[in-house]
Structure 1
Amino acid sequence: MRSIFMVIFVLIFILSGCQSEAEKQAELQLEQERQLNEQIATLTQHAQEYEREGDLLKIRDIYEEIVSLKPSSKNRKMLDDVETEIYNAKQTKVFFDGLYDIEKNRLRSGISVSAIELDYISKDIRQLMNEFQRLDTTADNDINLFIEKIKNDKSYVGYSWLKEYTDPELYENSSTIDMLGEIDPALGMQSTMLYALYRENILDGIDAVLSKKIPSRYSKVVNE
């Protein structure tokens, strides 16, 4: 009987020791979780401070650190949102720079432009516009509002005007027109006047788009 009591006592001692160890592990896990949440809260506060300053690059770095600490769907979405915002700002700058380059080096006053050359120019502008059009602007932020404002510009001269005068149907016969112009000077003069009008309208559309200024909060992003 005495030996049975001893066995029971030993078992109780062992079990209590195991339970104590389990409790210690649980407490340790809770403490680690608390410290992690505090660290994330501090990082989030820093991100909010950079948000007020408009420093998206530092916000991105912070969200990357948060995701590395706790890769939850919520944290990943925050990182994805800021990365998309940065991407859209940079692509808007690419769009503007592309239009400026075409205007300066291929369309400005003093540069001779044939009908077929204007066709190539319009294709390059359409490619820039198509890439700009594909930007995801579903999130509510300043750069997306800016992009949508440009896309929805229905003014007499603006984005829609630029789309109209880079329509490929206008340039379907550009190579033929250039060739006929060499044969018949009168016909060449008429086609020259028509394509000069297209050229001026394209220039007006580019000027209208470039008159819009990317919000200043993205200056660091677009100049990175």
Structure 2
Amino acid sequence: MRVVLAEDSVLLREGLVRLLEETGAEVCAAVGDGAELLAAVAEHLPDLLITDVRMPPSHRDEGLKAALEVRANYPSMAVLVLSQYVELTYATELLAGASSGGGVGYLLKDRVARFEDFADAIERVAAGATVIDPEVITALLANRGAADPLHTLSPRESQVLELMAQGLTNTGIAKALVVSGGAVEKHISAIFSKLGLQQSPTDHRRVLAVLSYLQRPAR
């Protein structure tokens, strides 16, 4: 796996390079701002871009904006965004185009310290999955309104959707919940039906179901 990394903190950037190398990835470039990120992506065309949300000069959302530009210019390229805090607007913006492109993820930096979680996330995103940090999912669920169609889901269906949001495959969900693959398929079919997601050759219903977390009205 060839990776371009963007992180303005030199110490964290060097630490991430070491972690990535431990996973067997090749870090093509490790840069410190959005402009360098875009130049490195154009030069190396990596399999995966990993970037912090907040980058110089304003330390607001330069990394996110650069990631969105990469998604627009290279839709098949996997992108993983790292954030210090749960920022639901950023997560929504990043994942909005996930149904038509390569893998995409939104991960809190605390998760990076857990090597197995980080390695698993980058592997899933690079393979084309959509991965949302479990803490982000928890925040989204806590903000759910009474009129939200997600309220129509059964407790088990909500569990399945949460695991889908974490990037698990049907097999992974079945293992986590200790149920059969057929049971998982039935739950996912029910989720699609309750959320009004019709089968379409141009839409990825798993991603659209996950986005239902992010696009519902607040209380």
On whether the aligned pair clears a TM of 0.5, the verdict is no
TM-score, normalised to structure 1, is 0.24
Choose between structure 1 and 2 for higher RCO, CA contacts under 8 A separated by at least 6 residues. Answer: 1
* TM-score normalised by L of structure 2: 0.25
Larger Rg: 1
Report which of the two has the higher share of helix.
1
Which structure carries more strand by proportion? 2
